[in-house]
Structure 1
Amino acid sequence: MAQEEFHDFYKYTPSKAAAVIFIVLFLPTTSFHTFQLVKKRVWFFIPIVIGGIFEVVGYSARVVSSTQAPIFTDIPYIIQSLFLLLAPALFAASIYMELGRIIAILHGEKLSVIRRTWMTKIFVTGDVLSFVVQGAGGGIMASGTDSNLSLGQKIIIVGLCIQLIFFGLFIIVSVIFHRRMAASPTTASLSIRVSWRKYLYSLYAVSVLIMIRSIFRVAEYVQGADGTLLRNEVYLYIFDAALMWILMVLLNVVHPGLISELLRGDAMLKSIGMDMHPEELGVASVRYVNPEPTRNQRPSFVETTYARHAIATRGLA
């Protein structure tokens, strides 16, 4: 068996207590996201759950590293570096997809500067590109040589800049849609009892959190190994760990489960040949009540009520 290599990767002794605290913080919110995902069938939030798992695994690796000071093994360091670096890109993917679904339930395609069918493709493609570039940079840095360390840092900076560019564009697109919808609301936005503004504000909030975190990471890698940010662990927990935990909790609270149920109700109408907007059906409101436990395959209360109300309005019930 080859002898394990040891390196002085960290410029400080990682805090075991801090890592454990954030494992304890990320576990409940990730578990609750998993529960919400399955119960509400919000499959576009799968990246959120995976990102939460990345955070837990990343800080678990830091716990291992904290027991190895002052000489650290490769594997825990590489795991925590990559997993904590890449988790926000997974969060971003779900955030991008949520905006497209908000536009869909409001039937506001004409108010969006980018067609809804293209929106998810454009932003998720940018997110995947950012993810791949950052992952490649992290992999190169893991080799440990000075030349590869410098190259890997530069590649990671490029990946983070890609993320910032797409997030900036995403916020602009969201704000323009918001302003247009407020100025010229669709009938659906007035008739469906869903606080679409609340969901947009939550998207703004989590987008700002990711942007602050990405700016911090860019500054961290630009400063390099001798910079203040890499030499002081506290900045990682303030500008990365804490912000990403707030993001996950906020998306627990303002969860798009109702949005998904309304979209499935729309799909039910299309399946019976009623391919039209809610405003065309005269739907006054959609009441949301927690139903009795049912199998995932059965329509939810919102979906069934939405379809029945629409059919009755058309004189078909």
Structure 2
Amino acid sequence: MSETTPQRYHYDPSLVAAAIFAGLFCISGLVHLVQMVKGKTWYFVAFVIGVFFEVFGYIARAVNAHQTPDWEGGPFIAQTLLLLLAPALFAASIYMILGRIIRVLHAEKLSIIRVNWLTKVFVIGDVLSFVVQTLGGVILANADSRDDLNQGQDIVLGGLAIQIIFFGIFIAVISVFHYRIVRHPTTASLETALPWKRYIYVLYGASLLIMVRSLFRVAEFSAGSDSVLQTEEAYLYCLDAALMLICSMLFNIQHPSSVVQKHQYKPTQVELLSTV
């Protein structure tokens, strides 16, 4: 690596931390696989893929940690992209849950966005965020100069900004729907066995976790390579890894398989294609 080539890590990555989080995400991901197949919640495929992005991302970090200080480019590129993009895949499935809850409760009139458009709008935003972050992440991971590094970071920031905007809108949509259905409950919301209130709170929690993680990433890239956020590995594990692990485990505990059964809801073609 030449003097002009940006340094891959600004610290010696922790092998123990990477291995622990790879293992924990793997356990959560395997549980998700069983839950998804057993409950036939195929719309949750994107979320499960996101969990395994985290698994392989931290495995790649563990490989680099074992190589300290002569880090290979392949694992570095893999961990950069996989850990950056995993939350966008989480989001794709999370967006779909609200539309299903609204339909099961027969509460379409209480949503500020028409349910037919709800999933489409947020999935489109999520795909746009994913594509922009992927482009920026590829440039960032392969940066050969300071200019390439800055360009990659700017593009990633744009993708994260899109993600934050759509999550902010999503939280607003959840909040308004929650307020309205509590004040004006539908017959279905009073009679259903679905613990929909619990699911609403899980959606709040998951959305806030991803929002905080995205804000951390924005601060990390905005502050520059010499900032404490990029030179201290603990911030990555506290404000990214731990938050995303909690998010994954939330849906292990309160899995959305009971949100919709076949007789309650028929997924749209757009929703099915968005999970492929």
TM over 0.5: yes
Q: In the alignment, which residue of structure 2 is the partner of 1:154?
A: 154
Q: Is the 8 A contact 1:8 1:70 kept in 2?
A: no
* SS, match of residue 264 in structure 2: helix
Aligned-pair distance for 1:11?
Answer: 0.4
Aligned-pair distance for 1:260?
Answer: 2.1
Code of the aligned partner of 2:264: D
Alpha-carbon distance in structure 2 between the residues aligned to 1:143 and 1:7? 10
Q: Is the 8 A contact 2:220 2:230 kept in 1?
A: yes
C-alpha distance after superposition, 1:53-111 (max 9, x if no partner): 10010000001101222222211111000000000000011110000000010011000
* SS, match of residue 127 in structure 2: helix
Q: In the alignment, which residue of structure 1 is the partner of 2:18?
A: 19
Alpha-carbon distance in structure 2 between the residues aligned to 1:236 and 1:44? 29
Q: In the alignment, which residue of structure 1 is the partner of 2:90?
A: 91
Alpha-carbon distance in structure 1 between the residues aligned to 2:112 and 2:229? 38
Query: How many equivalent pairs are there?
Result: 261
Q: In the alignment, which residue of structure 2 is the partner of 1:45?
A: 44
Query: 1:267/1:237 Cα in 2 relative to 1: closer, same or farther (>3 Å)?
Result: closer
Aligned-pair distance for 1:44?
Answer: 1.1
Q: Is the 8 A contact 2:25 2:55 kept in 1?
A: yes
Code of the aligned partner of 1:91: F
Aligned-pair distance for 1:267?
Answer: 5.4
Q: Is the 8 A contact 2:77 2:142 kept in 1?
A: no
Alpha-carbon distance in structure 2 between the residues aligned to 1:142 and 1:219? 18
Q: In the alignment, which residue of structure 1 is the partner of 2:269?
A: none
Identity of aligned residues (%): 52
* SS, match of residue 77 in structure 1: helix
Q: In the alignment, which residue of structure 2 is the partner of 1:248?
A: 248
State yes or no: 1:266 paired with 2:264. yes
State yes or no: 1:169 paired with 2:169. yes
Q: In the alignment, which residue of structure 1 is the partner of 2:34?
A: 35
State yes or no: 1:194 paired with 2:200. no
Q: In the alignment, which residue of structure 2 is the partner of 1:315?
A: none
* SS, match of residue 174 in structure 1: helix
Q: In the alignment, which residue of structure 2 is the partner of 1:277?
A: none
Query: 1:77/1:267 Cα in 2 relative to 1: closer, same or farther (>3 Å)?
Result: closer
Alpha-carbon distance in structure 1 between the residues aligned to 2:12 and 2:141? 19
Q: How does 1:156-305 map to 2 (within 5 A)?
A: 156-261=156-261, 264-266=262-264
Bigger drift between 64-73 and 149-158 goes to 64-73
Q: In the alignment, which residue of structure 2 is the partner of 1:73?
A: 72
Alpha-carbon distance in structure 2 between the residues aligned to 1:60 and 1:94? 24
Alpha-carbon distance in structure 1 between the residues aligned to 2:212 and 2:40? 30
Alpha-carbon distance in structure 1 between the residues aligned to 2:37 and 2:48? 11
Aligned-pair distance for 1:259?
Answer: 1.3
Aligned-pair distance for 1:48?
Answer: 1.1
Query: 1:104/1:267 Cα in 2 relative to 1: closer, same or farther (>3 Å)?
Result: closer
**RMSD in angstroms over aligned alpha carbons?**
1.2
Gaps spanning 5+ residues in structure 2: where? 267-276
* SS, match of residue 103 in structure 1: helix
Code of the aligned partner of 2:21: F
C-alpha distance after superposition, 1:143-182 (max 9, x if no partner): 3222111000000001001000000000000000011101
Aligned-pair distance for 1:191?
Answer: 1.1
Q: Is the 8 A contact 1:41 1:260 kept in 2?
A: no
Q: In the alignment, which residue of structure 1 is the partner of 2:56?
A: 57
Aligned-pair distance for 1:142?
Answer: 2.4
Code of the aligned partner of 1:209: L
Code of the aligned partner of 2:114: R
Q: Is the 8 A contact 2:103 2:265 kept in 1?
A: no
Code of the aligned partner of 1:19: A
Query: 1:8/1:148 Cα in 2 relative to 1: closer, same or farther (>3 Å)?
Result: closer
Query: 1:246/1:135 Cα in 2 relative to 1: closer, same or farther (>3 Å)?
Result: same
Alpha-carbon distance in structure 2 between the residues aligned to 1:134 and 1:228? 22
Code of the aligned partner of 1:110: K
* SS, match of residue 54 in structure 2: helix
Code of the aligned partner of 2:62: V
Task: Tell me the TM-score normalized by structure 2.
Answer: 0.92
* SS, match of residue 194 in structure 2: coil
C-alpha distance after superposition, 1:184-204 (max 9, x if no partner): 111010111112110000000
* SS, match of residue 13 in structure 2: coil
Task: Tell me the TM-score normalized by structure 1.
Answer: 0.81
Larger Rg: 1
Q: Is the 8 A contact 1:213 1:239 kept in 2?
A: yes
